[in-house]
Amino acid sequence: MPSSTPIMDRAAIERSAPPTLTPPISTPALRVEGLTKRFGEVIAVDDLTLEVPRGTVFGFLGPNGAGKTTTIGMLLGLVHPTRGRVEVLGRRVRPGDPAALRRVGALVGAPALIPSLSARRNLALLAGLVPGHDGRAAIDAALRRVGLGDAAHRRAGTFSTGMKQRLGLAMALLEEPDLLILDEPTSGMDAAARREVKNLLREAAAEGVTVFLSSHLLHEIEQVCDEVAVLDRGRLVTRGPVASLLPDATMVRVRVDDPVAAARRLEALEGVTRIDANGSYLEVEGVDPQRLVAFLVGAGHVPSEVTSGRPDLETLFLQLTAPEDGTRTGVEA
């Protein structure tokens, strides 16, 4: 497993650091060791070990039911691990004693808000959790940052889905956290708003904030994340920098009349490492486009359309999380 920096004596950090003290920069923002969660006979998360370096934008992917939400719940002290430990910003997270989470901002699932209160009042309640703190400036800054400055006094219950999501983001950004844990932060947002959020996350990372991001929008993850981890059936199947995970091989996409028959013929072509039939298209890796087209023409399957490029994160994700029986009912991170 890649690790950015040597790890300090964690026990010493736990003993010495008061909750409000920022731990040494050399500690990872997030460290998970042997994390396991069972619900009866079902193993939701199985021996997960993970480290997220500070200042990175880290993508956390997996299909439905992979254990992402349970993992995030354990990171945030909302779910009791069956086994293993979670450290956030150098301090251990224990459900019921989550002092380690005071420098963490989170948006998990649908944004949490009280519909009858204004956006400002919702944020004020959250700011009020910090004793003696006048959160007005922080609230204004958070609302401006997510583009809700003009809607500050509107009741949150009247907001559109996208606006509620922005308010949830403002809550996560309140008090300038050192670590952001976000689950589907752009859900319900239009394209322009999603772009703003992407920029916002990159800005936050540039300011030293670590972002732990779960999203089903894989192209966004690819654009914004430095590293990703893929979880499947509760187990970590891969992790690392996005660029290093994507194969170097070129993927060629061709449209043919009979993809299944063409795929059978292609199995004989030397160098081919992967063939996927997808509707009337074939996706082929390991062979250059000219050779592929020449082979198909020779085999009587003249392509009507040919495109080529590097496999993207979505392709990698589908390969890594393919069901054992070959069926797939939905793809989601």
Partner 1 sequence: MIALTSVELTKLFRRPPLWLLLGAVGAALVLLAVAIALSAPPEAGERPSALELAVPFGILAGQVLAAIAGAALAQEYQWRTLPLWLARGVARGPLLLARFLATLPALLLVALVPVAVGLLLSLGRLEAALLASHLSLDGLALAVLAMAFGVLPYVALSLGLAVGTRAVAVPVGGVLLLALLVEPIVGQLAPRIGAYLPSSLSRTLLAGGGDGRLAAGLLIALYTAVLLAVAVAAFRRQDLTG
Site residues (vs partner 1, CB under 8 A) = 19, 69-70, 73, 76-80, 95-102, 104-106, 108-117, 121, 125-126, 128-132, 171, 181
Number of residues in the chain = 333
Q: What does DSSP say about strands 91-92 and 30-39: parallel, antiparallel, or unpaired?
A: unpaired
Q: How far is the CB of 318 from partner 1 (least distance, A)?
A: 26
Q: How far is the CB of 85 from partner 1 (least distance, A)?
A: 17
DSSP secondary structure of 36-51 = EEEETTEEEEEEEEEE
Given the complex with partner 1, which of 153 and 326 has the nearer CB atom? Answer: 153
Q: How many helices (H) does the chain have, and how many strands (E)?
A: 11, 14
| Cβ-based neighbours of 12, under 8 Å, separated by 6 or more | none
Given the complex with partner 1, which of 39 and 241 has the nearer CB atom? Answer: 39
Q: How far is the CB of 291 from partner 1 (least distance, A)?
A: 50
Q: Any idea what DSSP says for residue 269?
A: S
Q: How far is the CB of 15 from partner 1 (least distance, A)?
A: 19
| Cβ-based neighbours of 40, under 8 Å, separated by 6 or more | none
Given the complex with partner 1, which of 93 and 204 has the nearer CB atom? Answer: 93
Given the complex with partner 1, which of 115 and 241 has the nearer CB atom? Answer: 115
DSSP secondary structure of 213-260 = EE-S-HHHHHHH-SEEEEEETTEEEEEEEHHHHS-SSPEEEEE-S-HH
Given the complex with partner 1, which of 187 and 315 has the nearer CB atom? Answer: 187
Given the complex with partner 1, which of 80 and 328 has the nearer CB atom? Answer: 80
Q: How far is the CB of 112 from partner 1 (least distance, A)?
A: 4
Q: How far is the CB of 83 from partner 1 (least distance, A)?
A: 15
Structure tokens at 151: 């809607």
Query: Of 54, 50, 91, 90, nearest to 72 (Cα)?
Result: 50
